[in-house]
Chains A and B, each alone.
Chain A
Amino acid sequence: MSDMLELLPGSIEVENNVAEIHVWTILKNYLSEDIGFLGYRVLPLGNKNIKDTPSFTIISKKYGLIFIDVCSDKLIDIDEEEFWCFHSTGSLYSRDALIEFFEDEAKKRLKRSSDTYNRRRRSYNLSINKLVIFYQNTDEELSHLDMEEIATADYISNQNIEQSLKEKLKSFESGGISGDVISVTFSLLEGTSSYQSKKPVEPELKTVNDFIQKSLNLTFKQDRSQRQISLQLPNGPQRIRGLAGTGKTVVLSLKSALTHFQYSEFKILYLFNTQSLYNQIEKLVEDYYVPEAGAVPNWSSLEILHAWGGQSKPGLYFNLCRKYGLQPLTWGDVRGRGDGLSVIYKHLLTEVGDKLVQEFDMVLIDEAQDFPQPLFEVIYKITKEPKRIIWAYDEFQSLKELKIREPDELFGLDSDSLPNISRDDLKGTYEGGIRKDFILPNCYRNPRLTLMVAHAVALGLYSKDGLVDSIDSVADWNALGYDVVEPINTPQIKENDRVNILRSSEHSKNKLEQFLTDEKKNPRNLLQVKEFENTEKQAKSVVNEIKRLIIDEGVAAEEIIVITLDTRNAEEDLGAVRSLLNQEGVQAITPGFIEKSSAFKEAGFVTLTTPFRAKGNEGNVVFVLNSQKTLEDYNFRGRNSFFVSVTRSRGWCHLFGVGSNMAELMSEIERIRGDYPNFKFVRPDDAFIQRRRVILSKTDKELIETNAAIDKLIDHDPEILIEQLRLKGLI
C-alpha cells in the first residue's frame, strides 16, 4: 500500500451520475490527506448486480471501513420496509437492506484474517460503518417516511450535504489503524483475490530449482498502478505503455471482465495477436468474473479474438468479412505481399470501409505494437462513441520500433482530414488522476541487471562505437521504467547533454533477484559471461552446464532455453548441442527446424532456438550462444537479437561466445555493470544520431549492397574515394 489515498474511480465516469459525482468530489477532497482507498463500486463482494452494492467504499487509516450509498432518486414511499418506491425509478429493493447485506459479507470476509478480526474478543480491528445519502430528500420528508425507525444504517438528507457528510465522517473517526490492516482489508474485500500470492511454504532454498519453484509458486499480485488501471473504466480512448512483463495482459483482461460484469449489455472486444494467448486471457477473465458474477462470462458479449481468423478458429477479420459478405483473404492469398495483417485490413477498408457499423462499446487491444495502421482504423470505425478504445503497447520490442506510433498515425482521418484520435486526446487524466496515457513502470519478468544490460547493449550506451540510437524523451524513459536523474527539469534530452538514468529497484519486481538477496546469494550471478576458444568448446560447456542444472540443481529441462545469435549456422550449431545433450541423456527440441515452431518448452525437453523464434517465450535459465554476433551486424540487428534473447530470461542468463568480438562485448558489459543501477553517457550530437537512424531504417538487402559497393571502392579505387570524401568535406 502506498502512503497516500488511492483513488479507484472504477466506472464513475461511465455512469455519469450527478449525485454520485458530487459525493465523490466531496469525499476525494475531504480524504485527500488520508491514507487508504476510496473506490466507486470496485468491490462486488459476490453481488451479481453491481448496482446492489453501495456507491462508495472507504478504507482509511483515520476512519476505518465505511460504506456509503447514494440514493440519487427521490424516495417517495416505503412498502413494508423491503421495497422502496422512488420517484422515477419506481419500486426497488431497500437500499438500507442492501447495504446491510453488503456489510455482513464484508464482515464475514474480514474474519478470515487475524489482522482484521480478533476471534477471542470477537471484535474487528477497525471500525465499520455504513451511511445512506438521500440526495433528493429533505429531513422532513425522511422523518415523514419514518426513516429513523426503519434504517439500520446512518443516513443524511440533501440538506447541506457537504457539511453533514463531513460531520458524519468525523463521528466515524477511530484513528490509528495500521497500514497492514488497511491493505489486508482491501485484499480480503477485493474481487481479484485470485491474483493474490499463496502463503509460501518455506523450505530452505538451496538448488537453482528451489529458487525457481519459489518464484513460480507466487502468483501474480497486482501492484498499485496495475490495480488503479484495471479497476477503471475510461470514458474514451486510453493507451497503456509498458515493457513486456509489466502485466498489460492481466490489466486488460481484468478491465474487460469488470466491464462485462458491470455492464452486461455492453459489447466488448478483446483483440490480440499471438494465438497461443487465448487460454491465458480467457482464464484471467474467468478467474475474475466467475466468482463475482456466479456465472460464466457471456462470450457473445465479451468477444476475445485474434486479429485474423479462418474457418477453424474465428478472428476479427474473418468475422467482419462474414458479416459484410466478403470473401476473406487467407494467409496463402497474401503471402509475399508484406505484412499480411496490413494487407487484409486494407482489404476490409477498401471493400467495406464506408459500411462498417459501430458495434462495440469497448475495445481492448493487446500487443498493439504488432498491429498495422489499417487495423486501428477499422477498430475506430466499429467502436461506438465515446470511443472507449484501450490499447496496450509493448515498449522496446526492437530498435526499429523505438519510436512509439502516436494515435494520429494509427486511427485514420475524418472527413476534414483531421486525425480521428489526436495526440491531445491522450493528454490529461480521467477521474481519480488516472492518466489517459498510462504507464506501467514495474517489470516482473526480468531481473533488473539482466534487463539493464539488455537495454544498454541494444542502445549501444556503452559501445566503443557510440550510441546506436538515443531515447530523448523523459516520458519514453519512464515508460521503460527508468528515471532520468540528469539532465534535470527538462522533458527532453538534447545533444551533448550528460545523461544519467536510474532504474530503481522498485520498478524491477523480479522475485528471484529478491530471493537470492534474501538468501545472501549474489544476484549478480543471474547474468554470467564466458568466452571460449572455439564453438566446439562452447557447445561442450553449455551441455555440461545444462546437465549440471538438471542433475545437481533439479531444474526442469523445459525451463532451459538455448538461443544462438549465429542465425546463419543455427541449424548446425543447435544440432551439435542437441546431439551432445542426447549423448548425455538430456532430451532437447529445436522448434522450427525439426519440431513444430509452436513446440516451445515441452515438458522434459530443453528448447534450442534462435532469437526470432524465441520471441514471446520466456524461461528461468537462458543460454545465449555465439554472443559475439551482437557486435557483427551492419545495421545493429545483432544488438537487437541480443536484447530479445537476454530478455527471455526470468532468472539466470548465461552469455557464451567466441572470438575477439566476444572479448569486446565482455568489456562493454563490464562497463555497464560498473555504473549499475545507472546508465551514464553523453548524448551524441544530432548529426551522429541522425546517421544512425538512417542506417537503422535500411533493410538488410540495402545495407549489404551499399557495403559491397564501398568495399569494392576501397579495394579498387581507394584514392578516388578519399579524394571525393575530402572534396565534399565529409572527412
Chain B
Amino acid sequence: MDVEYINQCLKEINNIYGDFLLTSNHCRSSQAISWNNYSPGIFSKILYAKEYEQLVDARQYSFLLKDKSFFQFYYGYSEGVLTKAKLCYYPYPIANREDIAELEEYFCQSGTDILETYYFGLKELQEIGVVSTNNSHFRLDYDSEVETHCKSHAQYGGINDLRIPFNHIISPIIFFEFIIKSTLDSYDSLKNNIENSPQYKHAMSLASKTVTQVSEENGVHLQYRAL
C-alpha cells in the first residue's frame, strides 16, 4: 500500500465516481497522500454543523460529494512504510425532526435536570428559528506509534472515546464505495453501469489485494473480508 498506489486509487475514484463528485481536492507529496491545505486534527464537543462548516470552509477534504458529504483520506509514510492512515466520512448535517410542541413535551416529561435543560434550550433556539442538528463523522484511524490504544480502529465522532479495533488497513476506494453504496440515493440508478465497468472491477480487485493485516484483536473487533 505505497504512496504510488494510494495516489492511483484516488484517481480511480475520480474516474469511476466522477458523477457523484463536486470537488476533488486530494494531493500527494513524497511522504504522504493528503489534501490541499491539509491541517490535522478533528473538532470535538462542538455542534456538528459547525464542525462540518469549518472543515468545508477550510477545504479539509479529499472529495466533496453532490450530497455535500465529504471524505478525507490521509496516508502518511516514513521511509516508504505506512505509519499513519485516516479515512474519514462527514455526512451533511441533518436537522432534528422535533417541532416546538414535541420539545415542550420532552421538557415537561423529563425528570432529570440536565436533560431537561437540553430540551428547554432547544425549544428556545427553535423559537427564534435555529434548527438543531444531529450527526457526526465516522472514521478509520491507523497510527503505528500509539501504545495506549489499538493501532487500528474505527471511531464515531459522536462517541469519540470508543475505539473499535479494526484488523485491517484498507484502500480509499473500499471505504468510499462501502459508504456511498448505503448513503447515496442516486447510487442505485448507476449501480449496474459502475459495477460492470472493467475499470471498477480492476480497481476493486487491486484494492482487495492491498488490504493490510494489522493484528488480530481479542473481544469485539471489525475486520475486512474481500468480496
* B179: interface (CB < 8 Å): no
In contact, A332 and B22 (Cβ under 8 angstroms):
no
A578-616 contacts to B, CB under 8 A, are 578-579, 582-583, 587-588, 590, 594-596, 599
| Closest chain A CB from B65 CB (angstroms) | 9
Give the chain A neighbours of B21 by CB distance below 8 A: 579, 582-583
Given A575-B66, A594-B68, A595-B56, A582 and B128 contact (CB-CB distance below 8 Å): no
In the assembled complex, the CB of A98 is this many whole angstroms from the nearest CB of chain B, namely 57
Asked whether any CB of chain A lies closer than 8 Å to the CB of B57, the reply is yes
Known A335-B128, A583-B14; contact A578-B57, beta-carbon cutoff 8 A: no
Q: How far is the CB of A583 from chain B (nearest CB, A)?
A: 4
Between A and B, how many residue pairs show CB distances below 8 Å?
A: 33
Contact status B56-A336, CB under 8 Å: no
With a CB–CB cut-off of 8 A, which chain A residues contact B68?
Answer: 594
Q: Which residues of A contact B23 (CB under 8 A)?
A: 578, 582, 587-588
Interface status of B41 (Cβ within 8 A of chain A): no
Interface residues of B in 4-30 (CB under 8 A from A): 14, 18-24
The total of chain B residues at the interface (CB under 8 A) is 15
| Chain B, range 51-93, C-beta contacts under 8 Å to A | 56-57, 64, 66, 68
For residue B178, give the distance in angstroms from its CB to the closest CB of chain A.
21
| B66/A594 in contact, CB under 8 A | no
Nearest chain A CB to B62 CB, angstrom units: 12
Q: Is the CB of B57 within 8 A of A579?
A: no
- Given A575-B66, A579-B66, A583-B14, answer yes or no on A596-B22 (Cβ-Cβ < 8 Å): no
Which residue on chain A has the smallest CB distance to residue B56?
A594
Q: Is B129 an interface residue (CB 8 A)?
A: yes
Complex CA–CA separation, A588 to B22 (angstroms):
9
Given contacts A595-B56, A596-B57, contact A579 B19 (CB under 8 A): yes
CA separation between A578 and B64, bound complex, in Å?
11
A335 to B66, CA, bound (A): 31
Alpha-carbon gap, A336 to B128, bound state (A): 9
Interface centre among B18, B22, B66 (most CB of A within 10 A): B22
Q: A579-B18, A582-B23 are in contact. Are A336 and B66 (CB under 8 A)?
A: no
Give, as a whole number of angstroms, the nearest-CB distance from A703 to chain B. Answer: 26
Q: How far is the CA of A621 from the CA of B68 in the complex (A)?
A: 27
Interface string of B115-130 (1 = CB under 8 A from A): 0000000000000110
Tell me the complex Cα distance, A578–B63, Å. 13
Contacts of A588 in B (CB 8 A): 23
CB nearest neighbor in A for B20: A579
Select B18's contact among A575, A583, A596, A599, beta carbons within 8 Å. Answer: A583
Partner of B128, one of A332, A583, A596: A332
Question: How far is B22's CA from A587's CA once the two chains are assembled, in angstroms?
Answer: 9
Binary B-proximity of A208-243 (CB < 8 A = 1, otherwise 0):
000000000000000000000000000000000000
Which A residues from 536 to 560 make CB contacts under 8 A with B? none
The chain A residue with its CB closest to the CB of B14 is A583
Residues of B within 8 A of A595 (CB): 56-57
CB distance from B184 to the nearest CB of A (A): 13
Q: How far is the CA of A426 from the CA of B77 in the complex (A)?
A: 73
Enumerate chain B residues within 8 angstroms of A579, measured Cβ to Cβ: 18-22, 66
Interface 1/0s, chain B 100-136, versus A by CB < 8 A? 0000000000000000000000000000110000000
Distance of A268 Cα from B55 Cα, bound (Å)? 42
Q: Taking A594-B56, A594-B68, A595-B56 as contacts, is the C-beta distance between A578 and B129 under 8 angstroms? A: no
| Closest residue of B by beta carbon distance from A605 | B23
A335 to B56, CA, bound (A): 26
Across-interface contacts of B57 in A (CB, < 8 A): 595-596, 599
Which B residues touch A587, using CB under 8 A?
23
Find out whether the CB atom of B18 lies under 8 angstroms from the CB atom of A582.
yes
Q: Which residues of B contact A583 (CB under 8 A)?
A: 14, 18, 21
CA–CA, A335 and B129, complex, Å: 9
Instruction: Report the separation of the CA atoms of residues A454 and B114 in the bound assembly, to the nearest whole angstrom.
Output: 59
Q: Which of chain B's residues have a CB closer than 8 A to the CB of A594?
A: 22, 56, 64, 68
Write out the residue numbers on chain A whose beta carbons fall within 8 Å of the beta carbon of B22: 575, 578-579, 582, 590, 594
Give chain B nearest CB distance to A337 CB in angstroms. 12
CB-CB < 8 A to A335: which residues of B? Answer: 128-129
Min CB gap B121→A, angstroms = 15
Knowing that A582-B23, A594-B56 touch, tell me 6 more A-B residue pairs with CB under 8 angstroms: A332-B128, A336-B129, A579-B19, A583-B18, A588-B23, A590-B22
What are 6 of the A-B contact pairs (CB < 8 Å)?
Answer: A332-B128, A575-B66, A582-B22, A582-B23, A583-B14, A590-B22
